Structure 1
């Protein structure tokens, strides 16, 4: 029974089977224009490229990650080396759906409208990427492979930012910290943005009402270790050398706001100074997925990037101006 519960926990954590429309099981994501909706900017062959990335750790070269590379108006429309004046954002999504999900597309549009380049990936097991037995290790490997693609195809000059949402924030924290540890703090990542993050998967599970009865049936912490899905961002985040920006809405019902605060406090307590937390008030009703709709998001991002994060120790509450 223990293994069955552990496997069920893994399916809920990743929820890769949840997508809309539900069929086909492997969606056709080769034409981003089909998913851009009615708002500007539109996606077409001049500003979006569908591509596939192979992990350097995949010796068979049989595994691939589907991805979209989105370009701002100022670009040439080609996949080519960028300059030191350019910024490219690697977007790591959370569980469920794929890179074409509506709120993700909405954020891409905000970012390319601001003049940034965006690489949005689907981990193996999601979207049209290769199937895999999902674990924390596999998604972190895929995030690292995407970062390598940026260096290989776009060069070393552009500012590289990694943005993780929800579960993607934990993948981001683990991947970037691991990269910094490996390189002695000289990785290519110059900034990290964590949207709606939690401190660790155990506390995220405990935030739901089903956690108490589940704890009577099984040891949740042991199962998370068994299935390689602990996602302990509170341990990884302090190891990240670059500035970190946390974005969280007070009315988030999926990842409680308090877990984002806990992550921030853990990083500060561990000695990380170049981190700040931006709160989006409950009255804005952005919830878990709609911070991209905030009118102050562009200035918040631009301030973070352009000033290399002038950090204050307090949690900021931002309202519309």
Structure 2
């Protein structure tokens, strides 16, 4: 609730001084990124290795959580890294890279119960805190910076194993996921086997106008100029409606109808775009909704009894399939390689 309240107060202040906001990237970033210092390791799950990766000389925190079937290893610190790396190379290993939303850290809210569910399905789970979040170093936050952190983690995993990787993004993390997958395809790098988007939106302008707080404030005559257009101009765009068309991996979208932070209609609209406009030969897009009377809201789809089966079926269907690259994408990759 504190994150939601902070967004309301920031946007309300933005409307009061809209001309200034139009020139202040700091205020714009505060609207998009509810970041802050914390220590997620106070709530670190068992059988989890905490470590740090570096982008542009700045570190960000990572958890590698073992599948439940692995038990709790009794290791000296010196043996920990090699044990976890060896586990990734197990022939039965499946890896989930989880990208969280705009608030809190990798230990917040419904994230820990979701990790537990994924681990119970015998998946390795990687979760990160983007720079400026949690115990990560501060940085000049941008769309590029959070995507770079996700990409660095993905490359860390693929450098150590060839086992199937799936991406799970939540809220803002869904836009990080689609942007990263678009970059992977454009650069000709290995693609994830599938992408799970929980509470996604089409793009940041739609999200700012559409959520319950922005929807009320959008009637203010200065909202468009002072907030939505300024954020777009400064490249805080998070355009999943474009990026979902730029990679081949299959996609599963999950959205609760009573989500007031990211409106259900935005997730469904993204599904319609992906399912109707992706190139022939790319993976399908599927959509699963959760009725409002179940009160899952923005953060608690993990409570749905059927979620475990949905995830298991999606992973089982695609974990051994090769992600095909349509001819158009291959041409684009060649152009990027030989400008």
Judge same fold: TM > 0.5, yes or no: yes
2:284, 2:153 → 1: CA distance? 25
Select the residue among 228, 235, 239 that pairs with 1:228.
Answer: 235
Match of 2:173 in 1: 168
Distance in 1 between residues matched to 2:114 and 2:155, nearest whole Å: 23
Contact in 2 for aligned 1:165/1:194 (Cα 8 Å)? yes
- Distance of 2:107 and 2:247 partners within structure 1: 29
Question: What is residue 90 of structure 1 aligned with on the other side?
Answer: 97
Task: Measure, in 2, the Cα distance between the counterparts of 1:139 and 1:127.
Answer: 13
In structure 1, stretches of 5+ residues that fail to align are 18-25, 37-42, 311-321
Match of 2:32 in 1: 13
Change (3 A) 1:243 1:276: same
TM-score (norm 1): 0.82
Higher helix share: 2
2:64 aligns to what?
A: 69
- Rounded to whole Å, the distance in 1 between the matches of 2:294 and 2:107 is 25
CA drift of 1:5 comes to: 5.1
Distance verdict in 2 for CA 1:257–1:285, change over 3 Å: same
**Please, what is the CA RMSD of the aligned residues?**
2.0
If you compute each CA radius of gyration, which structure gives the higher value, 1 or 2? 2
Matched, 1:104 2:114: no
Give yes or no for contact 1:98–1:127 (8 Å, CA) kept in 2.
yes
Alignment partner, residue 205 of structure 2:
202
Q: In structure 1, what is the Cα distance between the partners aligned to 2:168 and 2:277?
A: 22
Structure 2 length-normalised TM: 0.78
Structure 2 CA distance for aligned equivalents of residues 125 and 203 of structure 1: 25
Partners of 1:7 and 1:227 within 8 A in 2: no
- For residue 245 of structure 1, what is the aligned residue in structure 2? 252
Larger RCO (alpha carbons 8 Å, 6+ apart): 2
How far did 1:86 drift?
A: 1.3
Closer, same or farther in 2 for the Cα pair 1:227/1:298, shift >3 Å?
same
Q: What are the superposed Cα offsets for residues 3-43 of structure 1, whole Å, 9 maximum, x if unpaired?
A: 455432320111113xxxxxxxx33334xxx426xxxxxx3
Question: Is the contact made by 2:40 and 2:105 (CA closer than 8 Å) also made in structure 1?
Answer: no
Matched, 1:177 2:182: yes
Q: 1:75 to 1:257 in 2, by over 3 A?
A: same
